[in-house]
Homo-oligomer: A and B are copies of this chain.
Amino acid sequence: MTGIGDDCAVLRVPPGHETLVTTDFSLEGVHFRREWQPPESVGHRCLARGLSDIAAMGGDPMAAFLSLALPGKLPQSWADQFVKGLLKLAKQFNVTLAGGDTSESPDGVLADIVVVGSIPNGKAILRSGACPGDRVYVTGELGGSAATLDLLFSGRRKKLRPSLFANHFSPIPRIHVGKILRETRIPTGMIDISDGLSTDLSHICEESEVGAEIWADALPRATLLGHKVDLHFALHGGEAYELLFTAAPATKVPSRIVGVPITCIGEITKRRRLASVGADGTRSELKMRGWQHFQQRSPRK
């Protein structure tokens, strides 16, 4: 890579590969609060958002670009720790911080992360490939991040120890799993669960012109403080950064990939509705509950 510190960064994508580009805001008061998330976590989560999008295509991340605007009164140590958290995660996935922009912010910390990746020509896993009869799978566990946020919103806990709530404070984007899934040609469609299972599943269904039923009992719910989180968090909670994918019924899908559990949670249907099916067979409409990060449930609103 050349051109770092020049007008543009210059990246060489391997021959026979396409370039992937994704961009995500992390805005104070919208995506994080300085009183709840320590700066290292904010930096980590900022990059994780972009890496997770690369994972959802089955791609390889190459470089990140950070546009960062800071309020004049922000302590330098906050910015240092933010960058430290971001760079630590970047190193883990061999991603170079190749440029960006800096500015003074009129109000609050404003970050926009761009991640550029590569993928062999024509091999990106899109949202549009799911077919009726396909099974629906998720990686890891669901609802842990949203339930953690709920604890913070409730006021029952002022501060949480980040190491005990890692799926909220330092989620690991599923880059390796996404790449292996792509190489083994398992998924017909794939997305990451940044906006919540119900919302992201609806994106797959919309793009693929299909519906889906989710088996509520099968959902791999996260454990928080010794208890499984409420079903609600697993169905609708955002910022999970797990992968949601579909695979043909005849495809053999491993129960673990690089140690990450893979769980079958439902089926794609011809009928273009989302439904949730309980253990007793009762069927109810699965409403798309858009995840609005911090604002929707902010006590300030």
Residues of A within 8 A of B (CB): 2-3, 5-13, 15, 18-25, 27-31, 52-54, 56-57, 59, 63, 65, 67, 69, 98-101, 103-108, 110, 112, 114, 116-117, 119, 121, 124, 126-128, 190-192, 207, 295
Contacts and interface: CB of A to CB of B under 8 A. Distances in A.
Given A8-B124, A110-B110, 12 more contacts: A2-B126, A7-B52, A7-B53, A7-B57, A8-B117, A21-B21, A23-B100, A25-B110, A30-B69, A30-B104, A31-B103, A107-B108
B67 A21 contact: no
10 contacts: A3-B20, A3-B124, A8-B53, A21-B63, A21-B98, A23-B112, A25-B101, A25-B112, A30-B105, A67-B112
A59 B67 CA distance: 22
Contacts of A106: 27-30, 107-108
A57 B190 CA distance: 36
A11 B56 CA distance: 16
Contacts of A7: 22, 52-54, 56-57, 127, 190-192
A45 B250 CA distance: 53
A164 to B, nearest CB: 29
A18 B118 CA distance: 12
A30 B107 CA distance: 11
A86 to B, nearest CB: 15
Given A22-B99, A116-B19, A127 B6 contact: yes
Protomer copies: 2
B8 A12 contact: no
Contacts of A27: 69, 103, 105-106, 110
A99 B116 CA distance: 13
Nearest to A124: B10
Contact of A99 (B23, B31, B126): B23
B9 A22 contact: yes
B107 A101 contact: no
Contacts of A190: 7
A114 B11 contact: no
Contacts of A103: 25, 27, 30-31
Nearest to A105: B27
B69 A6 contact: no
Given A104-B295, A124-B3, A18 B11 contact: yes
A80 to B, nearest CB: 20
B124 A57 contact: no
A57 B4 CA distance: 12
Given A57-B3, A110-B110, A21 B25 contact: no
A6 B125 CA distance: 9
